[in-house]
Chain A
Amino acid sequence: MKLNWKELRKTIYIFATEKTVGFTLISIFLGLVVGAIFLTAAGFNPFQAYGIILRGIFSKPSYISYTIIRATPLILTGLSIAFAFKTGLFNIGAEGQFIIGSVVATATGYFLHLPLLIHIPVVIISAVLAAGIWGGLAGYFKAKFGVHEVISTIMLNWVALYFQNFLIYTEGFQKPGGETSYSIQPTANMMILKTWKQSAAGREWLLQHPFWKDLLRTPANWGFIIAIIMAVLVWFVLNKTALGYRLRAVGFNRFAAEYGGINVNKNMIISMFIAGALAGLAGALQVVGVSHKVTLIAAMEGYGFDGIAVALIANSNALGCILAGLLFGALKYGGAKIQPFMQAPSEVVSIVIGSIVFFISIPRLIKLILSRKNKKGGTK
C-alpha cells in the first residue's frame, strides 16, 4: 500500500499550524510518544504501560470518579491561570491562593456552626473572598509599586505556605497529637449522599447495586459540577461582558486600553482578584469535598503549578481547561498504577505532561520540522 506521504504531511502541517485544536492534539500525541520512548529505553513495554493507564482510568466506576476528583482542582487552578493570562498577567500564585482558600475553608468549616444548607456556601464564599484578596494583593503591588506579578506571587506563595503551617500549630485549630487541623463540621461536608451512604438502608441498597456502590466508595462530590459552571462563567465573563472586554483590552494592549479610557491599574487588580478567587475555590472545594482538613506541608503541593500546565494545554481557553484538567487528572491518577502493576516508574507521566507542554509552547518547532521536510520534498 502506498501512502501519499506528501499529501498527508501537508494536511498535518495545516492541521498543526492553522487549527489550534489540531495543534494541541498533535502535541498530546507527541508527548505520549516521548513517554513511550522513555519507557522503551528503560526496558518496559510502552503499550502495556499505556494499557494499564487506560484501564486504570476507565475500567471501574470508582476509577472514573477518582479521575474526576483529581481533575477538579486542576481545572480550577488552570482556569485561574488562563484567566489571568487572557488579561495579560502571569499568575504564578495559584499555589498560594489555593492554600489560602483551603485554610480559610477549614477554619470556617470547623469553627462555625451553621445549618447544612447555609454552612457550605458560607465556607466557600469566605474562602473565595480571602483567596481573591490574596491574588488581588499581587495586582495591587503591580499597580502601585510596579512589582512584577511573577515575583510578588512567588513570594506570596511562600507566605501562604508558612501561614498554613503556623495555623496548624495553633492551639484550638491543631488536632491534638497530629500534624493536621481538626476536620470541618459535618454540615460543611459536600460529599454526595454522605449520611445516606452510611445508613443501614443505604448500605442495603448499595449492596444490590454494585455499580453505585463502587462509584460512591469514592469521595464523590459536587466540586466537578461547580468547576464546570465556573469554566462556563469565566468564558462568559471574558467574551460576553463589558468587564471581560476591559480586561482583555488591557491584556492584549495596555497602551491602547489606556488610550481608550480604561483604567489599566484597576483592571489589573480586578483580574488578579478573580484569578485568586478561582484558585481559592479549588482549595475550598478540596477541603469541603475531599480532605476535610489541612495538614502540615513541607513543600508546595503543586496544584497551582500543575494549573499552569493545564492552562497551557488548554491554550488559555476556559472551556479547554475542563478537558485539559481531565486529561491531566487522568494521567496522574491512571499513571500512578504502572508502578504497582509493572514496576515501571510512574514519573513517566510527568515526562509525558512535560513533553506535551513543551510541544505546545514551541509551535514553531513543529512548524519548522514540517516545513523543513516540505522544502526537501520541493513544492510543485
Chain B
Amino acid sequence: MGYKNATRSLTKVIEMKNITKKFGDFVALDSVNLDIFKGKVHALLGENGAGKSTLMNILYGLYYSTSGEIFINGEKVNITNPNIAIEHGIGMVHQHFMLIKPFTVAQNIILGREPISKMSVLNMKKALKDVKEISERYGLYVDPNAKIEDISVSMQQRVEILKALYRGAEILILDEPTAVLTPQEIIELIQIIKNLTKEGKSIILISHKLKEIKEAADFCMIIRRGKHIDTVVVSETTEEELASKMVGREVSFVVDKKDKKAGDEIFSIKDLVVKDNRNIITVDKLNLSVKKGEILGLAGIDGNGQTELLEAITGLRKIESGEIKINGNDITNKTPFQIINNKIAHIPEDRQKRGLVLDFDISENTILENYYKKPFSKKGILQYNNINVYANELIDKFDIRPKKASKMARTLSGGNQQKVIVAREITNDPDLLIAAQPTRGLDVGAIEFVHKSLIEQRDNEKAVLLISFELDEVMNVSDRIAVIYEGKIVGIVDAKDAEVEKLGLMMAGGGNK
C-alpha cells in the first residue's frame, strides 16, 4: 500500500520540516522531515550517532535547530525550551531519567504542576487522586507513596511517562525506553504503548531492537548519518529489510561461532558473600568458575545480585567472605588497580557513572587504565601524539562516530559512548573480560561487531564472563550459561542444550539444583 496511502486519511499532529542541526562544522541532521500522526506509533531507527536523539531534543526544545520549521496541528511553533514543548502537549522520557531520588512517586509526577488549594497550600489529596486516575486509565501501575530511590528502573520509567501525561502530553517521545528493561518489562511497556494510542496519544519510539519496532510501531523512519533515508509502513516490511536500510548493507543476525573446547579453569569464585548498600546480603555463598577459551553467560532477572557480584570481583565493593582467584592469584578484596593488573577488564553496567569520564575527550577515555604506562606516558609526561594514534586506531577498528579523537565523551551519542568503553576494555587484552550489558544501546551493526569481538577473545584462549538481561544474547554468544537467583548460582547448562522456557523457569527460582 505504501506510506503515502497509509497515512492519507490520518490527522497530522506534528510536522518537522527540513530540520538541520550543526554542532560547530559537524552536521548532525541534514534537512530531515518527520510527520507524526494522531494515535499512531512512529519509530525512529538509525545507527549510533545517526541523529535520533538530537532530532527529538529539538522537538522537545532542548536543542535549537540551525534551520528548519516545526508545525503542531498545522500551526507553526517556535520551541526554544521544554516548557514551550510541554505547553504544546509534547512529553519526553529520556534514556537517563530525570527524577528526584528522595521524593515520592507522586511528588515527582506533580512537580512543577502542583495542584494548589485555596490559601495556596499544596493539595496532596488531589494530587494523589489525579495520579491514581491517570495510572489506572493507561495501566501504568505504580505505588504513589514509594520513594524513587527504592523502586526499580522500569518503575522509574513509568513515573517518567506518568509525569509527561500528567502535564497533558498528547505526543510522547520515548528515547530508547527498552534499553534498560528486562524482556518481561518490555512486554509490559509495549502494552502500555498500545493503551496510550488507543486513547488517541501519539508516540515516537526510538529503539535499536527491530523486534520491538515490528511489534509496537505503525511507521518507521530510518535515518543514516543525519540524513532521512526512508519512511516505511512497519507491517509491510521485515526486520532484515529495516536493518539493511539502516546500515546500508546486509546484517547477519546469527552469531557465527565455531565449536571449541574450553581449556583449564582460570578464574574461580568460592563461597562469595557480598552485601548491598542497604547492608543486606545479596550475593550468598556463590560459586562460579570460568575456563580459558570459553564465554560463560550469566543469566538472571535484574536485582538477583549481579551488580554486587561484579563490583566485588572488580574491587569496587567489599567482600564479606569467600575467595576469588585468577591465574591462581588471590584477588579477594584487592584494589581495582591490583585487579586490573591481574589482567581483568570490565565493561561496566552503568556507562555514564563508571565507564567514562564524560568531561574527558575520546582519546583521554581510551587510556583510563593505562595512562601512566608507555607509550602513553614517559617519565610522568603524557605523550599526546601516541595517545592520539592509539585512540584513532580504536576509533577506526570499533567504528566510533564521529571519527574525532578530541570529541568530548559527553557529546557522543549513547551508543558511541558504549563503543568507546568496549573498545578500551577489549583492546586491553585481558585474561578475563567481564562484559556487563555490553551491547546496551548499540545498533544492530555494532552488536554484531561486539559479539564477534567477544568470540575472538574466546578463540584466543581468553575467558569471558557475559552478563546480560537479553536471553537471546546470552544464548547465542555463550558456551555455558549459569543462572543466578537470589545471589546463588542455581544451575549451569551448556548453551547448545539451553531452552528458553527452562532458563526462564530457573531465573524465576524454579531451578534444578
- Show the binding face of A for B, using Cβ within 8 Å: 240-246, 248-249, 252-253, 255-263, 371, 374-375, 378-379
Contact = CB atoms under 8 A, between A and B. Distances in A.
Contacts of B355: 256, 259
A252 to B, nearest CB: 4
Q: What are the 3 A-B residue pairs with the smallest beta carbon separation, nearest first?
A: A261-B337, A260-B368, A252-B359
A256 B80 contact: no
Given A241-B381, A242-B372, A374-B80, A258 B336 contact: yes
A375 B80 contact: yes
Contacts of B71: none
A248 B346 CA distance: 22
A256 B355 CA distance: 6
Which secondary structure dominates where chain B touches chain A?
loop
Interface of B: 78, 80-81, 314, 316, 335-337, 339-341, 346, 348, 353-360, 364, 368-369, 371-372, 377, 380-382, 384
Contacts of B382: 240-242, 244-245
A249 B346 CA distance: 18
Given A261-B337, A262-B337, A263-B335, A246 B371 contact: yes
Contacts of B78: 375, 378-379
Given A241-B382, A259-B346, A375-B80, A253 B356 contact: yes
A253 B358 contact: yes
A129 to B, nearest CB: 21
Contact of A258 (B316, B356, B380): B316
Given A241-B382, A379-B78, A260 B358 contact: no
Kindly name the residue among B80, B348, B357 whose own CB sees the greatest number of chain A CB atoms within 10 A. Answer: B357
Nearest to B84: A375
A243 B356 contact: no
A260 B369 contact: yes
Contacts of B359: 252-253
A336 to B, nearest CB: 40
B371 A255 contact: no
Contacts of A261: 335-337, 339-341, 369
Contacts of A255: 353-354
A256 B354 contact: yes
A261 B346 CA distance: 11
B20 to A, nearest CB: 14
B59 to A, nearest CB: 16
A369 to B, nearest CB: 13
Contacts of B369: 260-261
Contacts of B80: 371, 374-375
Nearest to B372: A242
Nearest to A262: B337
Contacts of A375: 78, 80
Contacts of A259: 314, 316, 336, 346, 348, 354-355, 368
Contacts of A253: 353, 356-359
B335 A240 contact: no
B368 A249 contact: yes
Contacts of B348: 259
A244 B382 CA distance: 9
B356 A242 contact: no
Kindly name the residue among A245, A246, A249 whose own CB sees the greatest number of chain B CB atoms within 10 A. Answer: A245
B368 A242 contact: no
Given A253-B359, A261-B336, A375-B80, A242 B380 contact: yes
Nearest to A375: B80
Contacts of A240: 381-382, 384
B98 to A, nearest CB: 17
Given A258-B316, A375-B78, A263 B337 contact: yes
Kindly name the residue among B81, B348, B354, B369 whose own CB sees the greatest number of chain A CB atoms within 10 A. Answer: B354
A324 B354 CA distance: 35
A256 B350 CA distance: 10
A242 B353 contact: no
Given A240-B381, A246-B372, A257-B357, 9 more contacts: A246-B371, A248-B357, A249-B360, A256-B368, A261-B337, A261-B339, A263-B335, A371-B80, A375-B80
B386 to A, nearest CB: 13
Contacts of A257: 357
B335 A242 contact: no
Nearest to B376: A242
B380 A260 contact: no
A378 B69 CA distance: 13
B318 to A, nearest CB: 13
A261 B372 CA distance: 11
A241 B382 CA distance: 5
Nearest to B365: A256
A312 to B, nearest CB: 18
Contacts of B381: 240-242
B271 to A, nearest CB: 26
Contact of B364 (A245, A258, A374, A379): A245
Contacts of A262: 337
Given A255-B354, A259-B355, A260-B336, A242 B377 contact: yes
Nearest to B336: A261
B462 to A, nearest CB: 19
Kindly name the residue among A243, A248, A260 whose own CB sees the greatest number of chain B CB atoms within 10 A. Answer: A260
Contacts of B336: 258-261
A279 B336 CA distance: 33
Contacts of B335: 261, 263
Contacts of B368: 249, 256, 259-260
23 contacts: A240-B382, A241-B377, A242-B372, A242-B377, A244-B382, A245-B371, A246-B371, A249-B360, A249-B368, A252-B357, A252-B359, A252-B360, A253-B357, A253-B359, A256-B354, A258-B336, A260-B368, A260-B369, A261-B336, A261-B337, A263-B337, A374-B80, A375-B80
A252 B360 CA distance: 8
Contacts of A374: 80
A236 to B, nearest CB: 9
Contacts of B341: 261
Nearest to A379: B78
Kindly name the residue among A255, A256, A257, A258 whose own CB sees the greatest number of chain B CB atoms within 10 A. Answer: A256
Contacts of B346: 259
A375 B360 CA distance: 34
B19 to A, nearest CB: 14
B79 to A, nearest CB: 10
Kindly name the residue among B335, B339, B341 whose own CB sees the greatest number of chain A CB atoms within 10 A. Answer: B335
Contacts of B358: 252-253
A248 B357 CA distance: 9
Contact of A243 (B340, B353, B380): B380
A379 B67 CA distance: 10
B160 to A, nearest CB: 23
Kindly name the residue among A243, A249, A259 whose own CB sees the greatest number of chain B CB atoms within 10 A. Answer: A259
A224 B369 CA distance: 38
A244 B360 CA distance: 12
B283 to A, nearest CB: 19
A87 B346 CA distance: 25
Contacts of A256: 353-357, 368
Nearest to A259: B354
Nearest to B364: A245
Nearest to A378: B78
A349 to B, nearest CB: 34
Nearest to A245: B371
A241 B340 CA distance: 21
A61 to B, nearest CB: 40
